[in-house]
């Protein structure tokens, strides 16, 4: 068990906890709400969507260990959730999760190629989620919020990584900057 949690810091637990708590609240809202005010009617209100959505939010806990794997797992589990449950609201959690992942890609992905792969995975994550989000009228309208936010948080992550690199004499500490 200790090996799985190796390298995870207190703020990682806080971030994963906040995303997971928000995900639980959002799924409970999907389960108990009516779809009268939504652009698309809810496909289901089953309680099964709640534990499955935890698989979307929990991987960010391991962002320092392998951010590309975290982005990939998050995108795949989001796709599975979309395919299994259809039109439900996910944007309230997955858009901010994309922002946090973009920051983490800038900080921990390493090479530019890895950063491009990570950012591409985040865009795929957002597109998959928006494809069947009951609260979103059009994908293009939601991307106008998601993409600038991803770019902003990625830019902040780059600035933080540059500052860490300068402080450490040009080489980021291994536990801070993992190349995949």
Provide the number of structural domains found in the chain: 1
**Is residue 48 a part of any domain in this protein?**
yes
Per-residue pLDDT, 5 = 85
Query: Which domain range does residue 61 map to?
Result: 10-167
**Is residue 1 a part of any domain in this protein?**
no
CA triple 67-136-134, angle to 5 deg: 95
Chain position carrying tokens 């009228």:
137
List pLDDT tens digits, range 27-55: 999 999 877 789 999 999 999 999 999 99
Per-residue pLDDT, 1 = 64
**Is residue 174 a part of any domain in this protein?**
no
**Is residue 178 a part of any domain in this protein?**
no
Chain position carrying tokens 């209100």:
45
User: Does residue 72 sit in helix, strand or coil?
Assistant: helix
**Is residue 3 a part of any domain in this protein?**
no
Residue 53 host element (H or E): helix 49-57
List pLDDT tens digits, range 149-166: 999 999 999 999 999 989
Chain position carrying tokens 């865009």:
123
**Is residue 5 a part of any domain in this protein?**
no
List pLDDT tens digits, range 9-22: 999 999 999 999 99
Provide the mean pLDDT of the chain. 92
Closest by Cα among 10, 63, 40 to 177:
63
């Amino acid at each position: 068990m200790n090996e799985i949690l190796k390298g995870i810091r207190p703020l990682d637990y806080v971030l994963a906890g906040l995303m997971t708590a928000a995900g639980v609240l959002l799924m409970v809202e999907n389960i108990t709400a009516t779809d009268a005010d939504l652009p698309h009617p809810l496909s289901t209100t089953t309680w099964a969507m709640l534990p499955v959505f935890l698989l979307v939010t929990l991987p960010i806990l391991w962002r320092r260990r392998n951010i590309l794997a975290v982005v990939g797992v998050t995108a795949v589990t989001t796709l599975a959730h979309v395919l299994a449950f259809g039109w439900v609201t996910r944007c309230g959690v997955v858009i901010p999760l994309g922002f946090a992942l973009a920051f983490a890609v800038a900080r921990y992905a390493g090479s530019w190629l890895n950063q491009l792969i990570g950012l591409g995975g985040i865009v795929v994550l957002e597109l998959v989620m928006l494809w069947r989000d009951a609260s979103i009228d059009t994908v293009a309208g939601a991307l106008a919020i998601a993409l600038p936010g991803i770019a902003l948080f990625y830019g902040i992550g780059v600035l933080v990584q540059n500052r860490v690199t300068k402080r450490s004499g040009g080489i980021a500490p291994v536990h801070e900057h993992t190349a995949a």
